[in-house]
Amino acid sequence: MSADYLDGNALAGPLAEIFATDVSAAVGRCASCGLTGPVASLRVYSRAPGLVARCPGCEEVVLRLVRSPDAAWLDLRGAVCLRIPLGGP
Protein backbone atom coordinates (compact mmCIF):
# COMPACT_ATOMS: atom_id res chain seq x y z
CA MET A 1 0.00 0.00 0.00
CA SER A 2 1.46 3.34 -0.94
CA ALA A 3 2.21 5.85 1.80
CA ASP A 4 0.48 8.47 -0.27
CA TYR A 5 -2.75 8.85 1.64
CA LEU A 6 -4.77 11.43 3.51
CA ASP A 7 -6.94 11.25 6.63
CA GLY A 8 -10.65 10.67 6.70
CA ASN A 9 -10.87 14.42 7.36
CA ALA A 10 -10.62 14.73 3.59
CA LEU A 11 -13.99 12.96 3.31
CA ALA A 12 -15.76 15.71 5.24
CA GLY A 13 -16.44 17.94 2.25
CA PRO A 14 -17.51 15.27 -0.25
CA LEU A 15 -19.73 13.53 2.34
CA ALA A 16 -21.28 16.85 3.35
CA GLU A 17 -22.83 16.85 -0.08
CA ILE A 18 -24.80 13.71 0.81
CA PHE A 19 -25.44 13.77 4.56
CA ALA A 20 -27.09 16.41 6.68
CA THR A 21 -24.53 15.94 9.44
CA ASP A 22 -20.74 15.72 9.59
CA VAL A 23 -19.92 12.06 8.96
CA SER A 24 -16.15 12.54 9.39
CA ALA A 25 -16.73 12.80 13.15
CA ALA A 26 -18.81 9.59 13.21
CA VAL A 27 -17.30 6.52 14.86
CA GLY A 28 -17.30 3.37 12.76
CA ARG A 29 -16.30 -0.24 13.16
CA CYS A 30 -14.23 -2.00 10.50
CA ALA A 31 -16.04 -5.05 9.13
CA SER A 32 -12.72 -6.79 8.55
CA CYS A 33 -10.78 -6.41 11.82
CA GLY A 34 -13.29 -4.82 14.17
CA LEU A 35 -11.18 -1.72 14.84
CA THR A 36 -13.35 1.14 16.06
CA GLY A 37 -12.52 4.76 15.37
CA PRO A 38 -13.65 8.00 13.79
CA VAL A 39 -14.14 8.19 10.04
CA ALA A 40 -11.59 11.03 10.21
CA SER A 41 -8.89 8.50 11.14
CA LEU A 42 -9.35 6.32 8.03
CA ARG A 43 -6.63 6.39 5.38
CA VAL A 44 -7.98 8.05 2.28
CA TYR A 45 -6.48 7.34 -1.12
CA SER A 46 -7.56 10.02 -3.54
CA ARG A 47 -5.51 9.10 -6.61
CA ALA A 48 -8.05 6.46 -7.61
CA PRO A 49 -11.20 7.42 -9.47
CA GLY A 50 -13.15 8.69 -6.47
CA LEU A 51 -12.07 8.30 -2.87
CA VAL A 52 -11.11 5.01 -1.23
CA ALA A 53 -10.95 4.95 2.58
CA ARG A 54 -9.09 2.10 4.23
CA CYS A 55 -8.90 0.94 7.84
CA PRO A 56 -5.74 2.22 9.57
CA GLY A 57 -5.50 -1.14 11.36
CA CYS A 58 -5.84 -3.76 8.63
CA GLU A 59 -5.89 -1.66 5.43
CA GLU A 60 -9.12 -3.23 4.18
CA VAL A 61 -11.45 -0.95 2.23
CA VAL A 62 -14.06 0.56 4.57
CA LEU A 63 -15.70 3.12 2.30
CA ARG A 64 -15.65 4.19 -1.33
CA LEU A 65 -17.15 7.34 -2.75
CA VAL A 66 -17.42 8.18 -6.41
CA ARG A 67 -19.04 11.35 -7.67
CA SER A 68 -20.45 11.50 -11.18
CA PRO A 69 -21.86 14.72 -12.60
CA ASP A 70 -25.38 13.95 -11.40
CA ALA A 71 -25.02 11.35 -8.64
CA ALA A 72 -22.84 10.02 -5.84
CA TRP A 73 -22.03 6.33 -5.39
CA LEU A 74 -21.31 5.43 -1.79
CA ASP A 75 -20.06 1.95 -0.92
CA LEU A 76 -19.89 1.29 2.84
CA ARG A 77 -19.23 -2.43 2.65
CA GLY A 78 -16.31 -2.32 5.05
CA ALA A 79 -18.16 -0.63 7.91
CA VAL A 80 -20.26 -2.70 10.33
CA CYS A 81 -21.94 0.44 11.61
CA LEU A 82 -21.46 4.15 12.10
CA ARG A 83 -22.27 6.02 15.28
CA ILE A 84 -23.13 9.52 14.19
CA PRO A 85 -23.10 12.19 16.91
CA LEU A 86 -26.10 14.45 16.60
CA GLY A 87 -25.30 16.98 19.32
CA GLY A 88 -27.21 17.64 22.51
CA PRO A 89 -30.38 19.64 22.84
Residues at the interface with other proteins (CB under 8 A):
3-10, 12-13, 16-17, 20, 22, 24-25, 38-41, 46
Query: At closest approach, how far in Å is the CB of 79 from other proteins?
Result: 16
Query: At closest approach, how far in Å is the CB of 1 from other proteins?
Result: 12
The Cα 32–Cα 12 span in angstroms is 23
CB burial string 21-44: b at 16+ within 10 A, e below: ebbbebebbbbbeeeeebbbbbbb
Query: At closest approach, how far in Å is the CB of 67 from other proteins?
Result: 10
